[in-house]
Structure 1
Amino acid sequence: MNDDDLMAGVRAAFDLIDPVPETVVSAGRSAIGWRMPSARLAGLAADQPERVVDGVRGGPDRSLVFTLPGLSVEIEVAGTGRDREVTGRIVPSCPAAVHVRHRDLAPDGLTTRADSTGLFCLPQVPEGLVSLVLRFEDAASVVTSWVRL
């Protein structure tokens, strides 16, 4: 018996005793489909709840900043319940297509445009893990790290 035979036996035993649930396999395949190898990653640099002023309606908003060298994406998240409103801006200002990645949405299901000043608004983003994809006019792409809204 060599190492390959031993590993095949171990794999078969785990498949029989404790198989991986199909939902986990499906989620893994879906995650691989969300990869964007040519996109640059903007990592989360700041995540701060906004201060709620007494006597003002509404819940607390949240400010997030994603950065990479030469670019930042600033967003504010408002709302409670199932959907959130996400408003943001790209710094330095430039137009771009903005796509939301979320497990309950089709790949291009929730899209908007950032105008020439870099401002954009997504009025109904589902709660849960979310990442934004920015596609610029020069064909460059940036993805934000995943955050829970």
Structure 2
Amino acid sequence: MNDDELMAAVRDAFEILDPVPADVLAAARASIAWRTPAAALAEPAHDRGGHAAGVRGGPARTLTFVCPGSTVEIEVAREGRYREITGRLMPSAAALVQVRHRDLPPGGISARAEPAGLFCLPRVPAGLVSLVFRLDDGASIVTSWVRL
């Protein structure tokens, strides 16, 4: 038995005895669809307020993400099990804004940022979220994943 045959036998044993859960495989496949290789990564710079459990209209959480040449500021308001994200892109630019979330298909929730850079994304499920900004000039910005 050579190395390739041994590895195939081990792989077969794991597939029978300890298969990868279907939801893990689905998440892995979906993550490939979320790739935006040429995008600039906007890292968290500030995270203020709203960490305490609140009710609709309660304290909002404000986050700031920065990357070279751009800043994204968002405010997250709780609406039951959903979140409403309002924000702005600086410098001001028109863009398509898309929400990445494991329970949403790619582009499942999206909105247009107006030329002043302002946008609103209603009914975003709670959990890990990342935003993708596809600017009209062809550039892209992606925020880090953050739990909302």
TM category, shorter:
0.7 to 0.9
2:28 matches 1:44: no
1:136 aligns with 2:135: yes
Q: Which amino acid aligns with 1:27?
A: A
Aligned to 1:79: 78
Consecutive unaligned residues of structure 2, counting only runs of 5 or more, are none
Q: CA deviation at 1:48?
A: 2.0
Deviations 1:58-111 (A, max 9, x none): 322111111111101010101142211111111111221111122333322322
CA RMSD of aligned residues (A): 2.0
Structure 1 partner of 2:35: 35
8 Å contact kept, 1:59–1:80: no
Partner residue of 1:23?
A: 23
1:62 aligned residue: 61
- The answer to whether 1:146 aligns with 2:148 is no
Quick one: distance in 2 between partners of 1:21 and 1:81?
Answer: 29
SS for the counterpart of 1:79 is strand
Alignment match, 2:97: 98
Q: Where in structure 1 are there 5+ consecutive unaligned residues?
A: none
> 1 CA distance for matches of 2:11 and 2:86?
47
Count the aligned residue pairs.
145
TM-score w.r.t. the length of structure 2 is 0.87
Task: State whether structure 2 residue 105 is matched by structure 1 residue 122.
Answer: no
Letter in 1 for 2:4: D
Corresponding letter in the other structure for 1:104: D
Separation in structure 2 between the aligned mates of residue 15 and residue 106 of structure 1, nearest angstrom: 27
Structure 2 residue 2 is the aligned partner of structure 1 residue 2? yes
Residue identity (%): 61
Q: 1:99, 1:63 → 2: CA distance?
A: 18
Moved over 3 A (4+): none
Pair 109,15 (structure 1): closer, same or farther in 2 beyond 3 Å: closer
Task: Give the SS at the match of 1:9.
Answer: helix
CA shift at 1:4, angstroms? 1.7
Structure 1 residue 3: deviation in Å? 2.0
